[in-house]
Amino acid sequence: MENMTYTHLLNETIAIYDKSGSLEAYQFMKENANEVEGNQAQIYNFKYALAAASGLEQEALDTMKEAIIDHGYWYAYDYLQSDDDLNSLRKFDEFQELVALCKSREQEALEETSAELIIEGSSNRKRPLLMALHGDQENAEMTLRAWNSAITEGYTLALPQSSQIQFTDAYEWEDVEKGVEEVSMHVQNFSSRTDLMINDMVIGGFSAGCRVALKALMNKRFSVKGFLFVAPWLPDIEEWSSALDNLKGENVRGYILCGDQDEDCLEGSRKLSELLQKKGIQHELKVIKNLDHEYPKDFNEELAKALMYINNNKNFL
C-alpha cells in the first residue's frame, strides 16, 4: 500500500481483524510489515498474536522466537499470560519458556528505565523551543520522525520519553502525574540554557502525550506560548473543565488536529475546543476527513500552520 505509515498499519490491521477476522489481519500485517518505520517489537507482537489467533501455532511460536531470542525483544508478562489471542500457545513448553524470559527482561527494564530526553536542532543562536510528547506504546525516536520539520521552522525540538515502559521500545503515560513531573523536570533544566528562548516555548503531543501536556499546563507547572495537540486522548476532559480556567489570562493559543474517523479522540477534541471557547482561550480545531487515530499525511504543513497561528502571524491560513 502506497505511503503506508506505522500507525496506519496498526490501525488498519485492527480494523481488518474486527471486520474479517484474525487470518486476514495476519496476512495484511505480513504483507506490509516491511514497508514502515516504527517499533519492530510491536510489529512482531501483532504477527505472532494474529498467527496464534488464526490457529497457526507453529508459525506463531517461530515468530515469537525470532522476536524474543533473535532480536532480544520482551513483552509484558501479564499480557502474555492473559491475552485471548495467545490461548492456543499456552499448552507449549516453548511458549512458557519465552514468557519466563520476557518476565526476567521486564523486571530488569522496570528497574533500569528512567525519563529521557532527545534534543534536536540546537544552534549557536537562540531559538524557540518546541517540546513534543509521544503517544502510548511509542517512543521519542518515533516522535522525532513525525515532528522534525519544526527544526526547519526555526525551532529547537525537545522530545521527552516517559519512564513508564510497556514492552521493548514502547512507553506510556498511564500515570499522568508522573508524566507531568518528568516533563516539568525537563523544562526546569532548560532554564540554564542560553541557546533557548524559553518564553516562546510551544508544547505539543500525540494522543496520550497531549493529556500529560494539558495537565501540566492546567497545573501551571510552566508557561507556554501555545500548544499543538494531534489526536488528543482526553478521557478526563469533563472533569478538567474548571482546571482549564488556569489557562485564562496566559495569552496561550492552541491548535488541535483530529481525524473524523478517530473514534477514541474526536469527541474529546471537540469537547476541549468547546471548553476553550467558553473560557475565551484562542484556538483552532481542525477535523481532518478520512483520518483515523494517526498523524495527517501533510503533518509538516499543518505543523507550519500551527506555529504561524500560535505566533499570531497575520499570514496564517
> pLDDT by residue (tens digit) across 183-203?
999 999 988 887 888 888 999
Please determine, for residue 1, whether its predicted confidence score (pLDDT) is greater than 60.
no
pLDDT in tens, 158-181: 999 999 999 999 999 999 999 999
Distances, alpha carbon 76 to alpha carbons 10, 71, 132, in Å: 19, 16, 26
pLDDT at 241: 94
Report d(CA 95, CA 60) in Å as an integer. Answer: 10
Q: How far apart are CA 39 and CA 248, in angstroms?
A: 39
Q: Look over the chain and give the mean of its residue pLDDT values, rounded to a whole number.
A: 94
**Per-residue pLDDT tens for 96-127?**
999 999 999 999 999 999 999 999 988 778 89
Greater model confidence, 163 or 223: 163
**Where residue 59 falls among pLDDT bands split at 50, 70, 90?**
very high
CA distance 106 to 192: 35
pLDDT tier at 317, thresholds 50, 70, 90: very low
* pLDDT score for 124: 77
Please state, for a pLDDT cut of 90, what percent of the chain lies above it: 89
Give per-residue pLDDT as tens, 18-57.
Answer: 999 999 999 999 999 999 999 999 999 999 999 999 999 9
Task: Show the 3-state SS of the chain.
Answer: CCCCCHHHHHHHHHHHHHHHCHHHHHHHHHHHHHHCCCCHHHHHHHHHHHHHHCCCHHHHHHHHHHHHHHCCCCCCHHHHHHCHHHHHHCCCHHHHHHHHHHHHHHHHHHHHCCCEEEEECCCCCCEEEEEEECCCCECHHHHHHHHCHHHHCCCEEEEEECCEEEECCEEECCCHHHHHHHHHHHHHHHCCCCCEEEEEEEEEEECHHHHHHHHHHHCCCCCCCEEEEECCCCCCCCCCCHHHHHHCCCCCEEEEEEECCCCCCHHHHHHHHHHHHHCCCCEEEEEECCCCCCCCCCHHHHHHHHHHHHCCCCCCC
Average pLDDT over residues 7-19: 95
CATH architecture of 116-310: 3-Layer(aba) Sandwich (3.40)
Residue-range domain boundaries for the chain: 6-112, 116-310
Q: How confident is the model at residue 314 (pLDDT cuts 50, 70, 90)?
A: very low
In contact, 205 and 230? CB cutoff 8 Å: yes
Residue 2: predicted pLDDT: 55
